[in-house]
Amino acid sequence: MNEVTVSSPATVSNVVCAFDVLGFAIAEPCDTFTLRKTSKKGVTIINRDNFNLPTEPEKNVAGVAILALLKEVKEESGFEIVSNKIIKPGSGIGSSAASAAGVVVAANHLLGNRFSKEQLVEFAMCGEVVASGSRHADNIAPCIYGGVTLIRSLNPLDIISIPAPELFVTVIHPQIEVKTSEARQILKRNVPLKDAITQWANVAALITGFMKSDYDLISRSLEDVIVEPVRSILIPAFDKLKIKSKEAGALGGGISGSGPSVFMLSKDLKTAKKVETAMKDVYSKTGVEFHTHVTTISQQGVHLKTK
């Protein structure tokens, strides 16, 4: 096999209270990457989308991830990447992770699946550093593993898949850009103990809520007293979005990753669509353009696309 095409899902990281340690894959939108194995060393990137991302491998998230993987490959080989991205960079739904994770999973297929999922996460994280200036796996891990994943530790890597009930996800993507690196820089370096206590109680309860399919507990735990108060000022009408989505029946939600996208979880499709209508109502009054998605948490991470 010399060529594969993969579908790489968008992801929601942080999941409100679990900054940098929790994320989940969503069924839509997904990026598509076609990889060809070449005997020529190195990486060639061909963009078939409209995002104008750099084609020099060292400056491209996917390129850097593949270069990290190639360092561990003994034989002379390289890859040609044809990129068909749909997930807009800087959207907050894991665009860079979809690129980095998608291409390393595809390359691994072409190399006879010699690397473990943990190794692929390590390679993909090198790409994530280019996008955000920091190593974090809360988009990469769910993108590769699917479902809800917890990253207990990065060094050594310790990733745990968390069982969760079927949940519907409404995402609003305001068409403004929030750079992850900047959204990280504005965070406070120190956290009062009382806030830390609230936060880790919520993280533990959220995981328990997922594992017990306890929707009320999930709803009560979707509270962030550390990151959201700082970052939400970057997102127009954030408080209103939350209030109106809850009134429409959402369990809760908040900033997706570092924003500007905002997500809400719902128990059923009908509610998720009502939440979408509520979000659209709020945003149509802001003058900011936006896109919405109604989707589900997806158990499928990056996977081969059959023609």
Nearest-5° angle of CA 36, CA 115, CA 38?
Answer: 20
- Does position 14 interact with ligand HSE (CB under 6 A)? The reply is yes
Say whether 295 is catalytic.
no
CB of 270 to ligand HSE, least distance (A): 30
The residues in 172-191 that bind ligand HSE, with binding defined as CB under 6 A, are: 180, 183-184
CB of 306 to ligand HSE, least distance (A): 30
| Contact code string over 30-69 relative to ligand HSE, x by CB under 6 A | ----------------------------------------
- Does position 136 interact with ligand HSE (CB under 6 A)? The reply is yes
Which positions ≥6 away from 116 have C-beta within 8 Å?
A: none
Q: State the distance between the two ends of the chain, measured CA to CA, in whole angstroms.
A: 15
Asked if 5 contacts 305 with a C-beta cutoff of 8 angstroms, the reply is: yes
Backbone torsions φ then ψ of 149, nearest 5 degrees: -130, 145
- The two tokens of residue 32 are 């598509």
- Does position 95 interact with ligand HSE (CB under 6 A)? The reply is no
Is the Cα dihedral 181, 184, 185, 186 positive or negative?
positive
Say whether 3 is catalytic.
no
The residues in 227-266 that bind ligand HSE, with binding defined as CB under 6 A, are: 257-258
- Does position 274 interact with ligand HSE (CB under 6 A)? The reply is no
Among 132, 199, 219, 271, binds ligand HSE (CB under 6 A): 132
Distance CA 235, CA 168 (A): 22
- The two tokens of residue 84 are 């068909």
C-beta of 150 vs 278, nearer to ligand HSE: 150
Instruction: For the chain, give the longest Cα–Cα distance.
Output: 58
Closest chain position to ligand HSE (CB)? 257
**Catalytic residue set:** 128, 180
Which residues contact ligand HSE (rule: CB under 6 A)? 13-14, 19-20, 132, 136, 138-139, 180, 183-184, 257-258
